[in-house]
Amino acid sequence: MGAADVIYYTFHLLELRSIVQCNVSQLRRKIWHHPVHEREKDKESVSLKVCFDLLDQTSRSFSAVIQELHPELLIPVALFYLILRGLDTIEDDMTIPIEKKDPLLRDFHTIIEKEGWSFNGNGPDEKDRELLVQFHYVTEEYRKIKPVYRQIINEITRKMGAGMADYCKKAAEGKVGVETVEEYDEYCYYVAGLVGNGLTQLFVESELANPALNERPQLQKSMGLFLQKTNIIRDIREDWNDKRRFWPREIWSKYVDNFEDLFNPANQEAALNCSSEMVLNSLNHADECLFYLAGLKEQSVFNFAAIPQSMAIATLALVFRNPDIFKKNVKMTKGTACQTMLDSTQNLSKVCQVFRKFVQQIRKKNTAKDPNFLQISIACGKVEQFIETIFPSQNPESVVRQKPPETEAEKKERLEARWDISKFSMCTLNERGRS
């Protein structure tokens, strides 16, 4: 910790406390944290242990959340992640010619069924190339899971591979970047929305989520799009350095003549207004993400889904009208990250508090000189109203008249009953017919 960090945390003691509780780089070793479930490492095969090592290498923080999942889902979700990460590693590698990349992406769903398949054709600098070099361990364990889980994973891999191949083919033909908002949504759906769809099927099939979620594809889609769109906003500078452009022309062309003009300091105000519209586009998914989380009943599954969403809304508040995103890849402080993760491993009420906090930060940074000012205010209000509907705030008069404080168990039961009956059940189960 440098001198600047010492000064910062002197005035942000709550963030410092969160770091003590939760070391970001070693999430599973955080003090006072008791995992809902833990791996039984002594019962794992050699190939499965390699898979978890690869999981740590590709995403340490995400790996930690996966490894606390319910035993029924632990291995299927871990393999699902590794398979899609392998697919993404092929798609991302600009050193692989399209003639080789296209069939790999389109056939990846059949490749994962093959015994002993691995791939060493990635460029030497591709950060996750080792995953594909040792991919035969992944396919070995994949063939051991329940057929119904394999079917779900295979189908999502097929759809995602085809979508990625189409995008890569367009790029190879000289079409750089995304043109329309519709195309932007489609791209985000293929690389993230499909993940939400697959995970939902796994959650429901394992009986750890409300079956009604399977009948709400828009909620599943929003879970993925909210994450992907937020990352695309944050990573604009890094993507531009890599000659990638994911912000749709339909949006940025309202503010500048050429995409590269966004990075010119002389155009800072226009760039910030453009980024505001991108944030607005992402923020419109936030309330549906909270709606989705209400359908997850098992604690480890809830944690697994809630943490990324909370981190996304925190990131969205960070990048909103932040000129630094056009200069570098911005990151939230460790204290904010830790506190956000800790707050997201409790219940829906706590996650709603997280969303409300960061939505209010966006509202505070919103400015009337931004052409998106009114729409952003409406979008923030929509999220806040959704939360208020589930967990109404108390006014002073009601506090005076209230009964003696209820116990934690009574509060939990009351809040769950309010949401489950008056919201989630009415909005989803009525589509299945009344019994």
187 catalytic per annotation: yes
Provide Rg for the chain, Cα atoms: 22
- C-alpha distances (whole Å) from 20 to each of 15, 29, 30, 37, 62 are 9, 11, 8, 22, 19
25 Rama class: left (phi>0) / alpha (psi -120 to 50) / beta: alpha
304 catalytic per annotation: yes
Question: Of these residues, 187, 189, 203, 226, which one is catalytic?
Answer: 187
Question: Of these residues, 60, 150, 237, 244, which one is catalytic?
Answer: 244
Question: Of these residues, 184, 226, 304, 320, which one is catalytic?
Answer: 304
CA distance 128 to 167: 21
Please report how many Cα atoms fall inside a 13 Å half-sphere around the Cα of residue 403, on the Cβ side.
4
Question: Of these residues, 234, 355, 356, 386, which one is catalytic?
Answer: 234
Torsion on CA atoms 286, 287, 288, 293, rounded to nearest 10: 90
244 catalytic per annotation: yes
Read off φ and ψ for residue 237, nearest 5 degrees: -70, -45
- SS3 track for the chain: CCHHHHHHHHCCHHHHHHHHHCCHHHHHHCCCCCCCCCCCHHHCCHHHHHHHHHHHHHCHHHHHHHCCCCHHHHHHHHHHHHHHHHHHHHHHCCCCCHHHHHHHHHCHHHHCCCCCCCCCCCCCCCCCHHHHHCHHHHHHHHCCCCHHHHHHHHHHHHHHHHHHHHHHHHHHCCCCCCCCHHHHHHHHHHHHHHHHHHHHHHHHHCCCECHHHHHCHHHHHHHHHHHHHHHHHHCHHHHHHCCCCCCCHHHHCCCCCCHHHHHCHHHHHHHHHHHHHHHHHHHCCHHHHHHHHCCECCHHHHHHHHHHHHHHHHHHHHHCCCHHHHCCCCCCCHHHHHHHHHHCCCCHHHHHHHHHHHHHHHHHHCCCCCCCHHHHHHHHHHHHHHHHHHCCCCCHHHHHHCCCCCCHHHHHHHHHHHHHHHHHHHHHHHHHCCC
Active site residues: 187, 234, 244, 304
